[in-house]
Chains A and B, each alone.
Chain A
Amino acid sequence: MSTVDSEATAGRGSARAVAVASSIARFLVIAITTYLGLLAVTFFIGRVIPIDPVLAVLGDRAPANVVERTRREMGLDLPLIEQFYIYVKNALNGNFGTSVLTTNPVMTDIRRAFPATIELATLGTLIGALLGVPLGVLAAVRRGSIIDQIVRIIGLVGYSVPIFWLGLLALVLFYARLQWVAFPGRLDIVYEYTFTPITGFYLLDALWQRQWDVFRDAFRHIILPASLLGYFSLAYISRMTRSFMLNELAQEYIVAARAKGLSETRIIWGHALRNAAVPMVTVIALSYAGLLEGSVLTETVFSWPGIGLYITNSLQNADMNAVLGGTIIIGSVFIGINLLSDLLYRVLDPRTKVR
């Protein structure tokens, strides 16, 4: 680890700026290469899968002459490399083509579907992090106690139970039996006509327009799938928090702090957690990115019109424009979140501030 600590303090500010700029540049190069790679891989996988994309447009019953004509119209008779070139050219102009399944431009579809997923994933991650971190800390502090065991069981179940099964079970209980939550989709039928979303984030839109009943309805729709996703990220986050905390609690500075007579609360929450927080950011960010990919099964079970459902549906129907467009958006989000957590890392950990 080479630092600029030894240099004169005068040049420190500008050196830091240069370091930051160069790391951003490096990041951009990596991001662009990743994009192109992603594009190429998805494109070629899409073309070699043993599915005839014309089937997606026409279905099984179209007569042979229509099939042939459509193949030409879709440019599928061109050499593969030419098809790829055309695709990349269009993609660079922001044109990802038209989805054959929905007949909309792919970007229009994604602009509709993605907010639904972001809303769900954000709420899910909030639930997961707000409950998972304290649970993990408790489990680490009371290692071997009954609390630790409970947290372990929660984690195990979260790891091992299929989400669609738990989803259905939750629906039976909270929706069918107890009638606490609503289902399916994002809003009740009655609001479909009275409510015009602006951003696509229904909770925010409803708040912004001061439509309290819509907010309440949207909340009743989102809370169950969000809790479910939250539970699964909770399982992951609490396990990781526990092991990071155990690691920190065994460090010498904890012993030193204890020797100084600091209160246990302060040692755990102020010192140990502060240090464990650095790797935690990566864990939470990765889990968030995972949810942003769209939890296909959750979206299916809850009829949630998000990006996961959109891409899966498109993939099953060999709607390659939609799949490619969706993959690139998700790729960007992944890269973006990685960048963000990298930056947060630097803020939280003084040692990585200047490299």
Chain B
Amino acid sequence: MMMEKLALRSRVLLAGAAMSALLLAGAPALAVTPADTLVEGFAIDDIISMDPGEAFELSTAEVTGNTYDLLVRLDLSDTSKVKGDLAESWSVSDDGLTYTFKLKPGLKFASGNPITAADVAYSFERAIKLDKSPAFIIGQFGINGDNVTEKAKAVDDTTFQFTVDKAYAPSFVLNCLSATVASVVDAKLVKEHVAAVTPSADYKYDNDFGNAWLKTGYAGSGAFKLREWRANEVVVMERNDNYHGEKAKLARVIYRNMKESSGQRLALEAGDIDVARNLEPNDLDAIAKNADLTTTSAPKGTVYYISLNQKNPNLAKPEVRQAFKYLVDYDALSSTILKGIGEIHQTFLPKGVLGELDENPFTFDVAKAKELLAKAGLADGFSVTMDVRNIQPVTGMAESFQQTLGQAGVKLEIIPGDGKQTLTKYRARNHDIYIGQWGQDYFDPNSNAQTFASNPDNSDEGKVKTLAWRNAWDIPDLTKQTEAALLEKDPAKRAAMYQDLQRKVLETSPFIIIHQQLEVAGLRKNLRGFALGPSFDTNFVSQISKE
């Protein structure tokens, strides 16, 4: 029946488009991308700025990671550590407050300007003074606009000194310095492009530190230089011959904005793109079966979770929180909607981060859940709503959850909404249940611990609006424990503290963490050296080549 319909429709279509067929007969066969250029189909419509001091979006992270250098970078062979990038070595003072970095000799920006400690200091200064979304990653060490030039300064041409306000765990400080906001910009070049600003109560400085220019401009030293970003269309990167590390193998990398999974698949099959980056399970399947193509995946620091607002009296009962954790059909989800794009993961630290805990104690168990609900005095179930943004996979996950909750007598009403709309409601704590994803802000356990396990002020006026706050989960003890873990110098002990935190959150929290995202890519088989990294800013493309 379906086939008949298809056949009929394509015949009609043939008639409708006969003109194009006639006009185009004899057009060339399979498209091929240029041999020195990598073309990726990628949904890059989230990019709003290319300034590393401002950008905080996932696609931008990949571009920044490839076009800018840092003092230290995540060590891909052991992601609980960092390794030197521009820094040759570093030391921490005995009081644990001063970090001194020694730069490698003879470094140059893509522009040809030398890289000096003054450039590093300027990069920190502008990030802090601009105070855009990612600035807190550096600011959380007690750095602000008034003291940044003192706390982050060049001692001489190759020595940079960074002073923090407490004796933090060195792993925490170094991990934060591997975030893209700490990227080193070419101060000389940026200063040629600063725009004057009238100081105001909100912004005390008389210039924009080149922010307007850097939104689309480039002043870095990475393996690639950014040639062009056209919003919603394309990002073009070109090889940087001044790069201090191993030079890029390809001359050019192009990210073409393509939103649609099936469109990416078609373009990949036809050879118009070399890599497809936003594939849904069915397209991924088809690509895996194609002899010219292959797929790859890597776990990313993003977890999908369901959270229960503690302002709802039913959801605030500990038994109900527990019961709901037994009412997710984890296995069914991972073999259907999440097939290939997620793996079961119930703790809040994603795999690869210091202190990760690979324990998944909850399984789908209706009897147990019913028992717990009865204990809570809700043997007959209750009704509750859930805000769901209308995209996959969350829609599918929500529908599955609705069905499994129903088996225990809980009636779930799904309120579908646009992404920004459900988020607005969530951030105002006006939801019952929310389903969403959370990506860590920087590659350190504190990032997720802070949001899932700390809530310094649970009042509606609370200033630190963590996920725990958004769900009105008041946890003074866990908050203290999270803060304590920041000051533990011994990485092994620090890891153990986070594991303990994760067990507690797993047991008592209103967060039902379901799985960790796998980033997937489909690629043509002639590519060599393509690998997805453990975070979005480590999807490096410089070692990719074509056969």
List A residues at the B interface (Cβ < 8 Å).
49-52, 55-66, 69, 72-73, 99-104, 109, 127, 131, 153-154, 157-158, 161, 166, 168-176, 179-185, 188-190, 192, 219-220, 223-224, 227-228, 230-231, 234, 300-303, 305, 309-310, 313, 316-318
Contact = CB atoms under 8 A, between A and B. Distances in A.
A303 B259 contact: yes
B202 A316 contact: no
Contacts of A56: 420
A150 B16 CA distance: 12
A61 B231 contact: no
Contacts of B78: none
B131 interface: yes
B232 A51 contact: no
Contact of A49 (B6, B31, B202, B421): B421
Contact of A182 (B9, B25, B272): B272
A294 to B, nearest CB: 13
B438 to A, nearest CB: 9
A189 B270 contact: no
B258 A154 contact: no
B257 A170 contact: no
Contacts of A57: 48
B280 to A, nearest CB: 13
Contacts of A154: 12, 15-16
Contacts of B439: 61
B208 to A, nearest CB: 13
Contact of A303 (B24, B135, B258, B464): B258
B424 A184 contact: no
A300 B17 contact: no
A104 B56 CA distance: 19
Contacts of A227: 16-17, 19-20
A78 B256 CA distance: 39
Contact of B34 (A52, A62, A189, A224): A189
Please provide the 6 A-B residue pairs with the shortest distance between their CB atoms, ordered closest to farther. Answer: A102-B231, A62-B133, A231-B16, A227-B17, A51-B420, A52-B424
Interface of B: 6, 9-10, 12-13, 15-17, 19-21, 23-25, 27-31, 33-34, 37, 39, 41, 45-46, 48-49, 56-57, 131-133, 135-136, 202, 215-216, 231-234, 236, 254, 256-260, 262-263, 266-267, 269-270, 272, 418-421, 423-425, 427, 439, 441, 463-465
A26 B336 CA distance: 61
A79 B415 CA distance: 30
A56 B232 CA distance: 15
A157 B9 contact: yes
Contacts of A168: 262-263
Given A153-B12, A224-B20, A305-B233, A55 B424 contact: yes
Given A109-B231, A305-B232, 8 more contacts: A57-B48, A59-B133, A154-B15, A168-B262, A173-B10, A184-B272, A223-B20, A227-B20
Contacts of A234: 16
A171 B266 contact: yes
A169 B9 contact: yes
B232 A179 contact: no
Nearest to A166: B13
A181 B20 contact: yes
A69 B202 CA distance: 7
B262 A189 contact: no
Contacts of A62: 56, 132-133
A169 B13 contact: yes
Given A61-B133, A66-B132, A192-B234, A231 B421 contact: no
Nearest to B436: A60
A241 to B, nearest CB: 16
Contacts of B256: 184-185, 189, 303
A305 B257 CA distance: 9
Contacts of A166: 9, 13
B20 A189 contact: no
Contacts of B9: 157, 161, 166, 169
Given A61-B133, A103-B215, A189-B34, A180 B260 contact: no
A179 B29 contact: yes
B45 A313 contact: yes
A166 B17 CA distance: 12
Given A59-B57, A189-B254, A313-B45, A103 B216 contact: yes
B420 A55 contact: yes
Given A51-B424, A172-B266, A189-B39, A61 B56 contact: yes
B492 to A, nearest CB: 29
Nearest to A316: B418
Nearest to A109: B231
A147 to B, nearest CB: 12
Contacts of A64: 463-465
12 contacts: A66-B131, A66-B135, A66-B136, A99-B231, A184-B267, A184-B272, A192-B254, A220-B24, A300-B260, A303-B260, A316-B419, A316-B420
Given A169-B9, A303-B256, A183 B27 contact: no
A174 B17 contact: yes
Contacts of A189: 33-34, 37, 39, 254, 256, 272
A85 B137 CA distance: 38
B24 A60 contact: no
A57 B46 CA distance: 10
